[in-house]
């Protein structure tokens, strides 16, 4: 029953035709940017570059361009130039303004709808350039065509003036310069490695295209932006990379496997067009247990896969079973290979190009075109069958690799069932070493994975028992990069962690059953602590990736020093912070050894107080203020109060959230650092030794 006063209150709220808001032009983009670029964080910021680059790349895919340059300029600006046909500048018959202005300021405007200007393209909604323009505080487009240069500038999606002719040029192409709007993107900062990785990938996918990337953000000299030349031609001494590949996906697979041990010599590849769909697939098995799938549609990376990946997996599983049974690798009574069996240790790249492409969402993370599945299944299936028949040595090595995966899966399943069964029957639903929290709400519960029993003891005493659980791990856990699931579950420490999390593992993993929405890795600030942290992160990446992707993994940041200046206590987390805090008093500590936590007494030195009392100032006496410096070497050496105040208290602690910016690069890094091959790890250490922050 609605009360009378509530009825009157509802009547006071106006809701008529005049209350319907119509967003015009590019206003919807600025109102809801996440709908168009995914987010306004790091990924969304870099998505602006991808959108402009994709327009230039589509020119190359159509055979109209062979060179693209991307330059990071001072002031967060980005400049993309290609030698394609140039955006048309004539008057559009419908909008009655320049076609250039129409493309840059109107959603769903472009040359990719009818299929006349582009046979295939990454864009399909005609919103890329206009979205970048809407989300940029400044944009400038220069078009070089038929000997003339045309230019138009924009501010937050609105033109500043009409398109005008600004000069002559022998060059033909388009130059786009933009500066993201700080009102939209709160954290500005281009990631050089992320940009390099993405554009390298694009160069592999577009044969005979030269992609150049320049970093001029720190360039202090006079920068002459001559519109008729690429910035690379100015021979500036700045960081730069250049990519050019003729091998296509074979080169891409070879690149990702360059530091791995291949199972078979020849990289499989096939390229063919079926029913208007261009299909290219390359793959190679390596001596590893993880799989890597790189999926592309019209050169756009599909991180969530799609119909082309479904077709690939279906054909792979079917053909491997057919060949294995035909050649008596598996008998009639044996079970078939599963999709997981045939993908273990496989690096594959699947690319399709088609005209009327359909993605799920503007960020194009997943391909939805139905015809892609059948085309890939047919082309890849036929090609793989021929490859296995024509390369018997490679085929034997591949099938033996898959057989090993099948046996390991059976053993792992038995081990997993044994672990879960024991946990239920013997009353070990939760491990005995776990000090669980009182709350049963996952969204407010957090678990600290701490290093050692001493740290576990301090943590258990200092925690908030209602919401904080403590799980101490003894020593370094098993390196799961070198172990299968059955061996992994035999580890007491890993088994305890799996059971404590509550979301299962392997084919029964369900992230919705996670018992804690903050999993905090708390290790000592030394080399051993860093190693333990890396081992734990490897475990999560390989077997609980969804937990990382869900934003549930954090790394605790315990302080390095406790500084007492008189009655004031200050915790600092780096050498730089210590120096900044002590200021001129740092000179008094140069000849004093820093005490480690657990020693009898902290080191005390005397320093002149900056704020001496008036009476002491008049008498000429100096007030002495004691400074004590305590160096923490481990969490177990901190008492419970200090541990709570610095590392566990949600109000004062510092946590770093673990994210996966690029899953492929993360996968390669873990393989290098944690895999069996020593040489790649040695080369990595030699290349990055100067960047290491070593606490001796």
Catalytic (active site) residue 322: no
Contacts of residue 618, Cβ cutoff 8 Å, sequence gap at least 6: none
Helices (H), 551-677: 575-582, 614-619, 640-643, 663-674
Give which of 587, 694, 572, 696 is closest to 630, Cα–Cα: 572
Q: Collect all residues with Cβ–Cβ distance below 8 Å to 70 and sequence separation of at least 6.
A: 49, 53, 78, 79, 80, 195, 199, 211, 212, 213, 214
Rg, the chain, Cα only = 30
Contacts of 492 (CB under 8 A, 6+ apart): none
CB contact burial 627-641 (16+ within 10 A = b; e otherwise):
bbbbbbbbbbbbeee
Active-site position among 524, 642, 645, 667: 524
Mark residue 636 as left, alpha or beta (left: phi above 0; alpha: psi -120 to 50; beta: remaining): alpha
144 is written with which tokens? 């070089």
Q: What 3-state DSSP class applies to 190?
A: coil
Report the C-alpha gap between 632 and 185 in whole angstroms. Answer: 38
Strands lying side by side in the sheet with 446-451: 468-473, 446-451, 518-522, 553-556, 655-657
H-helix or E-strand spanning residue 397: helix 392-425
> 273-299 b/e with 16+ CB inside 10 Å = b?
eeeebbbbbbbbbbebbbbbbbbbbbb
Token pair recorded at residue 137:
């505080």
Alpha-carbon span 374 to 542, nearest angstrom: 31
Three-state SS sequence of 413-481: HHHHHHHHHHHHHCCCCCCCCCECCCCCCHHHCEEEEEECHHHHHHHHHHCCCCCEEEEEECCCCCCHH
Gap between the Cα atoms of 451 and 472, Å rounded: 6
**Spatial distance between the Cα atoms of 381 and 311, rounded to a whole number of angstroms:** 9
CA–CA distance, 552 with 511 (Å, rounded to integer): 10
Q: How far is CA 553 from the centre of its chain?
A: 14
Instruction: Say how far apart CA 668 and CA 671 lie, in whole Å.
Output: 5
HEC string of 495-556? HHHHHHHCCCCHHHCCHHHCCCCEEEEECCCCHHHHHHHHHHHHHHHHHCHHHHHCCCEEEE
- Adjacent-strand bridge partners of 572: 561
SS3 letters across 72-112: ECHHHCEEEEECCCCCCCCECCCCCCEHHHHHHHCCCCCCC
Q: 524 catalytic, yes or no?
A: yes
Active site includes 528?
yes
Catalytic entry in 179, 528, 549, 665: 528
Of the residues 271, 526, 676, 677, only one is catalytic, namely 526
- What does the alpha-carbon distance between residue 625 and residue 640 come to, in Å, rounded to a whole number? 28
Residue tagged active-site, from 54, 232, 436, 451:
451
Nearest CA to 402 out of 293, 329, 486, 472 is that of 329
- Both tokens of 667, joined, read 């996968």
Residue 173 CB coordination number (10 Å) = 26
* Helix, strand, coil content of the chain in percent (nearest 5): 40, 20, 40
Q: Which of 257, 256, 350, 346 is closest to 300 using CA atoms?
A: 350
Q: Which residues are catalytic?
A: 451, 524, 526, 528
């Amino acid at each position: 029953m609605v009360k009378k006063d509530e009825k009157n209150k509802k009547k006071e709220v106006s809701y008529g035709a005049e209350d319907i808001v119509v967003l015009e032009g590019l206003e919807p983009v600025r109102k809801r940017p996440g709908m168009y670029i995914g987010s306004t964080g790091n990924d969304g910021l870099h998505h602006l570059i991808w959108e402009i680059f994709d327009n230039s790349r589509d020119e190359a895919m159509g055979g109209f361009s062979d060179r693209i340059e991307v330059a990071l300029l001072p002031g967060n600006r980005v400049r993309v130039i290609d030698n394609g046909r140039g955006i048309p500048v004539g008057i559009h018959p419908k909008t009655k303004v320049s076609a250039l202005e129409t493309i840059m300021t109107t959603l769903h405007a472009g040359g990719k709808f009818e299929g006349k200007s582009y046979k295939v393209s990454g864009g399909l909604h005609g919103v890329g350039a206009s979205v970048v323009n809407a989300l940029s505080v400044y944009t400038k487009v220069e078009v070089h065509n038929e000997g003339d240069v045309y230019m138009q500038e924009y501010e937050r999606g609105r033109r500043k003036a009409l398109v005008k002719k600004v000069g002559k040029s022998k060059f033909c192409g388009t130059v786009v310069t933009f500066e993201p709007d700080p009102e939209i993107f709160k954290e500005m900062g281009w990631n050089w490695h992320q940009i390099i990785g993405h554009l390298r990938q694009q160069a592999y996918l577009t044969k005979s295209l030269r992609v150049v990337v320049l970093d001029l953000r720190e360039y202090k000299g006079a920068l002459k932006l001559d519109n008729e030349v690429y910035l690379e031609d100015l021979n500036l001494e700045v960081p730069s990379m250049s990519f050019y590949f003729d091998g296509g996906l074979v080169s891409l697979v070879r690149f990702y496997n360059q530091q791995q041990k291949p199972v078979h010599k020849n990289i499989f590849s096939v390229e063919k067009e079926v029913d208007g769909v261009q299909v290219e697939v390359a793959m190679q098995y390596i001596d590893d247990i993880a799989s890597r799938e790189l999926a592309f549609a019209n050169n756009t990376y599909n991180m969530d896969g799609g119909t082309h990946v479904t077709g690939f997996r279906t054909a792979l599983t079917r053909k491997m079973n057919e060949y294995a049974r035909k050649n008596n690798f598996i008998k009639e009574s044996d079970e078939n290979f599963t999709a997981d069996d045939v993908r273990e240790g496989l690096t594959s790249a699947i690319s399709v190009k088609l005209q009327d492409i359909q993605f799920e969402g503007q960020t194009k993370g997943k391909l939805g075109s139905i015809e892609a599945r059948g085309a890939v299944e047919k082309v890849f299936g036929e090609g793989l069958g021929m490859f296995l028949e024509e390369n018997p040595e490679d085929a034997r090595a591949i099938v033996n690799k898959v057989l090993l995966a099948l046996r390991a899966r059976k053993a792992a399943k038995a081990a997993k069932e044994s672990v879960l069964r024991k946990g239920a029957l013997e009353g070990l639903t939760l491990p005995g070493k776990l000090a669980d929290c009182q709350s049963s709400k996952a969204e407010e519960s957090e678990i600290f994975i701490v290093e050692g029993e001493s740290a576990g003891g301090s943590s258990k005493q200092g925690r908030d028992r209602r919401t904080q659980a403590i799980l101490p791990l003894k020593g370094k856990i098993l390196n799961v990069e070198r172990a299968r699931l059955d061996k992994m579950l035999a580890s007491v420490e890993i088994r305890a962690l799996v059971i404590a999390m509550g979301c299962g593992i392997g084919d029964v993993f369900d992230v919705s059953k996670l018992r804690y929405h903050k999993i905090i890795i708390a290790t000592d600030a030394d080399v051993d602590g860093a190693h333990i942290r890396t081992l734990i992160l490897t475990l999560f990446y390989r077997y609980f990736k969804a937990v990382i992707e869900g934003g549930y993994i954090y790394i605790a940041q315990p302080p390095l020093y406790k500084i007492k200046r008189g009655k004031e206590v200050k915790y600092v987390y780096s050498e730089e912070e210590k120096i900044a805090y002590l200021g001129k008093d740092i000179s008094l500590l140069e000849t004093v050894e820093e005490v480690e936590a657990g020693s009898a007494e902290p080191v005390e030195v005397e320093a002149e107080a900056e704020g001496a009392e008036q009476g002491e100032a008049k008498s000429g006496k100096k007030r002495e203020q004691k400074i004590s410096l305590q160096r923490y070497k481990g969490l177990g050496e901190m008492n419970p109060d200090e541990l709570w105040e610095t590392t566990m208290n949600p109000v004062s602690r510092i946590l770093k959230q673990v994210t996966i910016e690029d899953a492929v690069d993360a996968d390669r890094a873990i393989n290098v650092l944690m895999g069996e091959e020593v040489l790649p790890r040695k080369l990595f250490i030699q290349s990055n030794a100067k960047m290491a922050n070593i606490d001796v």
